[in-house]
Amino acid sequence: MFEIDEKGRVLCKNHSNYDYLIRPRDYFQDLYLDAELTCKTCSHYENNECYFSKTRIDEIINKGLKKTYLCRLCGKRIDRMLSIIHKLYYKEIYDVEMPLICCDCYEKIKTNEFLTYSKKMTDFYLLNIVISIFFLCYFAFFLLIFDLEPTSYYILIIVICFIVSVVFRKCIKKLRHFYFGIKYYKKHFPNQKSKE
């Protein structure tokens, strides 16, 4: 029913454009292929003859647009329709819980580089947090040195705190995803060795 190509993209073998999807001729057609990897480009969807009903597929698309489907390893949003359909199909038909994994993580797993990649990304987000806190302290000190009016001082501090809090929150969220992703990886891919 489904297959995964060398780039980690899920292809539906029953897709009406399957022959076109598996043989991109050049780089640009390969990029365009990502937009075509959806049920909406298939005649089975139009005729309501797919694995899921047309309304269910539309519901899945809407959930995907709201960031409901995230990569199990890194927390990146999964926006490839057929990846989501693949997961739901195996869950409903065979009662098999498959993890949603983005193409980047799939590629890293395939080349045994996921642990190295996740360590680099965790270091990157930790560095972002440290730099954000440093700049917050630096600007607060810098603003104290200048004799500014209290209102402008507080407005600048509030703006800087808001920006730093947004960066801080996003980094914490990503670190959390990578932490649980690494735990999941070590549990479910125990035979893979990290390339250092």
pLDDT tens per residue, range 35-74: 677 777 788 878 888 878 888 888 887 877 776 788 999 9
Confidence of residue 77 (pLDDT cuts 50, 70, 90): confident
pLDDT beyond 60 at 108: yes
| Residue partners of 11: CB distance under 8 A and separation at least 6 | 2, 3, 4, 5, 18, 21, 22, 37, 82
pLDDT beyond 80 at 29: no
Return mean pLDDT, the chain. Answer: 82
Taking the C-alpha atoms of residue 118 and residue 43, their distance in angstroms, rounded to an integer, is 39
